[in-house]
Structure 1
Amino acid sequence: MLASANNHAGEARGRGYQIWVTALLSLNFGILFFDRNALNFLMPFVQPDLQLSNTQVGMFSSALSLTWALSGLAVGRISDKLGSRKPVIVIATVAFCLCSFISGAASSFLMLLGARLLMGAAEGGVMPVSHSMIVAEVAPERRSMAMGVAQNLGSNLLGSGLAPVLLVPVAVAVGWQTGFYLAALPGLVTAALIWFTLREPPIEALDHDNPKVTLRDAFAHRNVILCALISILLVSYLVVCWAFMPLFLTRERGFAPETMGWLMATLGISAGLGSFVVPAISDAIGRRPVMIFFSFLGVILPLSTIYYQGPTAVLAAIFFFGGGLMACSRCSWRRSLRSQSIRA
């Protein structure tokens, strides 16, 4: 059986198939983030229409983040017990597309809150299961880069870069509900592509050369605990930024919705490019100085939003550099956690 698994791994690891697996899973996760971030970018239209308070706006992000986190643990375990990855990703993708449709049809706070809770539950397990497929199908010497591309490239360029530029004009022209319907459609396409073009790696291929490490073993090391705490704080920074930045730019700073969309897109472009640049810098000079530098650099984003009164183009440039913190969080800190666990 092990020989059969190794033969499958060798067959699956043709360079073309490795690229296709990585690209398709990155695209799928990008569409997932497109759906997740859609409410944030459409909130300047949703809030007055549904008469939402700022507390209720914050609850949407909190609800989705909560079920996302719980789902990431639960769905991974379910996938392990079932011994299958591809059906789990396809079902989750179709589910979050349906949740996006429900978001567009929401006519009250409770209905929209329920849609966000369900969306988090559907989306949370996608990336952990996607990573397990990449581990099984991509050669070890390219695996780290493939995992970084799958998690960072699509999510930043589509979910944070393209989403505000595309959704805001749609909301201005035909209403915010149509923006949610538009966000849902591409996920159905990627779900079909995953189902018909990706193979289901056998359990033996997933486990081969990848010994399991228990949580107790991982958290026995100081750096793992520190990086986990840092990541929790950073994710809080990002969630609050995505939830309230569009509202602050339009309501408090008086920017037109289209201008807000381009400013938010700058963050996605920065993080997308940084997904390659920041890890390269960390490989050259070390992870700790990169983490420290980009954490301080991220402070300029909220400060410039509040206090900078100059040309919008300069503000966009500040956003671009401040957005580098997103790439630092998703690349350098994740790789630091992994490297510390392996060295230990």
Structure 2
Amino acid sequence: MKFLLKKAWNYRLVILIVLWLLYIINYFDRMAVITLMPFIQEDLNLTPIQVGQLTSAFFFAYSIALLVSGILADKIGSKKVMGIAIIIFTAFTAVTGTIKSFWQFFIFRIGLGLGEGQHYAPASRTIQNWFPRTERGRASAFFGTSWTLSGAIVPLLITTISIYFFNGEWRPVFYVLAVPGIIGILLLWFLIYDSPKEMLRKNKLTAPEYNQIAEKLDNNQEQGSNKKGNGTITDFLKDRNFYFMSILLFCHQSIYWGTNTWLTTFLVKQHGLNIKEMGFFASAPYIIAVFATLIGGLLMDKVFYRMKPIALIGYFGCIPVLWLLGSLESNNKFILLTLLLCMGFFVNINWGTNLAYLQNRYASSVIGKAIGIASAVGHMGAFASPLISGYLVKVNTDGTQDFKTVFIFLACIATVAALLAVLLKEKKVGNIFKSSSVKQEHIG
């Protein structure tokens, strides 16, 4: 019996790994566009302003979808919402290879945003339903490595596929990316359950197994997909820290997608890298980002027991790194690589901890809405940053581009994020869990 209980409890790791794989598939689609953008831009004769508009169109739709998905996840369940998301973004990724004009590209970017934006809040809600409070920092950090790992492997993989299979063409790459989407739908259908309670209801767990899992979870967490729950929407709407956190996410997404959107173009147009060099240098920040995200989660769960110190490390570290990156002259590849690695560390160290802050603060019955709204506000930063940056890029007469002002702009946003992190209030995760554990031991 003890073996069966342990096996059932450990199924949460299967849930986490599948959610991680599904989000890698999600990021493959959006990162493919960013990686190939210098060549799409040349093929369609797009200006930097139009590139910024295309990225912003995606994130405007993404923000709307985030808001809707949080509400839907609380209402119909996370698994169904994620299924809708994967079907939509897989379809729009495949047809991206057919684009012929700016406006057709614009429409497809909106469609992709509406699909991919349905994914994040339901996945986060599922993590909260399966993991106890003291594991959420690490679970969320591991989940966060899905987009950092994608950033590390997509530029290398996409450019390799383009060069060795399609003679440097970009269009067929998007047709190939439909295959991971189909695999993702199957993984979701057969392996994901919204909560332990759903597994019990579908006879995938016995009652003793479920009771054992429920004891390990927070009191308000073991309800899983129960629509009523213990919390109400006013729990976070009346909490000023929710608004601080939402604006902080706005800043974080502005920095993240401001750098992501222009990184490959920055490397090609300002530093003159070819497609092979660009693939390697563009992957570098994300390789270190995988470790940075995991380190952030570990520091939250085991050292600081809260997210604020990690946020301060990240945002204060971003300020000089971004400023220096934009000011760096070309033909200095060693310093360029060093700054890119530093950027990858400081921008990504608090991905998982930012998510865990919301998960730890609000009840499971409203966490979908809380994450959906906060993330929607956050992704408006992802909408605004590339759009503003497009106007800040300086196009030189020889065809090269200067991104200095763009990186100074992003460094200023990092300063605002650091100040917001100072204002945030939070309880120590360890203290909350200890009081909960005492109650459970007394009952036993």
Alignment TM-score > 0.5, same fold: yes
| Corresponding residue to 1:223 among 238, 241, 259 | 241
- Alignment partner of 2:337 out of 310, 316, 333: 316
**CA 1:132–1:335 in structure 2 vs 1: closer, same or farther (change >3 Å)?**
closer
1:166 to partner: Cα distance: 1.1
Task: Give 5+ residue unaligned stretches, structure 1.
Answer: 1-9
Using the TM superposition, give the Cα deviation of residue 175 of structure 1 relative to its aligned residue in structure 2, in angstroms.
0.6
Q: RMSD of the TM alignment (CA)?
A: 2.7
CA shift for structure 1 position 11: 7.6
Q: Partner of 1:106: helix, strand, or coil?
A: coil
Q: Is the 8 A contact 2:194 2:225 kept in 1?
A: no
Q: 1:177 to 1:332 in 2, by over 3 A?
A: same
Which of 91, 97, 115 lines up with 1:98 in the alignment?
91
1:130 and 2:123 correspond: yes
**Segment of structure 1 superposing worse, 161-170 or 310-319:** 310-319
**Matching residue of 1:238:** 256
How many angstroms apart in 1 are the aligned matches of 2:245 and 2:193? 34
Taking structure 2 as the reference length, the TM-score comes to: 0.68
Q: Which one-letter code corresponds to 1:206 in the other structure?
A: S
Correspondence for 1:272: 290
Confirm whether residue 57 of structure 1 aligns to residue 51 of structure 2: yes
| 8 Å Cα contact 2:271/2:330 also seen in 1 | no
Is 1:153 the counterpart of 2:145? The answer is yes
The alignment partner of 1:52 has SS state of coil
Among candidates 224, 231, 245, match of residue 212 of structure 1: 231
Contact 1:29 1:154 survives alignment (8 Å): yes
Q: Which entry has the higher C-alpha Rg, 1 or 2?
A: 2
The separation in 2 between residues aligned to 1:282 and 1:178, in whole angstroms, is 43
CA drift of 1:12 comes to 11
For residues 303-344 of structure 1, give each alpha carbon's deviation from its aligned partner in whole angstroms, at most 9, with x where no partner exists. 324415564244222211211233234123333445566868
Letter in 2 for 1:256: N
Measure, in 1, the Cα distance between the counterparts of 2:330 and 2:52.
26
Question: Is 1:76 aligned to 2:70, yes or no?
Answer: yes
What is the match of residue 4 of structure 1? none
Q: Is the contact between residue 74 and residue 227 of structure 2 (CA under 8 Å) also seen in structure 1?
A: no
Question: Within 5 Å, which residues of 2 pair with 1:1-344?
Answer: 14-81=8-75, 83-139=76-132, 141-150=134-143, 152-158=144-150, 160-172=151-163, 173-199=167-193, 201=195, 204-207=223-226, 211-214=230-233, 216-283=234-301, 284-285=303-304, 287-299=307-319, 300-301=321-322, 303-309=324-330, 311-339=332-360
* Residues 288 and 135 of structure 1, relative CA distance in 2, 3 Å threshold: closer
Q: 2:84, 2:31 → 1: CA distance?
A: 20
Structure 1 or 2: more helix by fraction: 1
Preserved contact between residue 40 and residue 170 of structure 2 (Cα < 8 Å): yes
Give aligned-pair identity as a percent. Answer: 21
1-side partners of 2:239 and 2:171: how far apart?
A: 47
In structure 2, the CA distance between the partners of 1:85 and 1:287, relative to structure 1 (3 Å rule), is: closer
Structure 2: unaligned runs, 5 residues or longer: 199-222, 364-425, 428-444
Q: What is the alpha-carbon distance in structure 1 between the residues aligned to residue 82 and residue 111 of structure 2?
A: 15
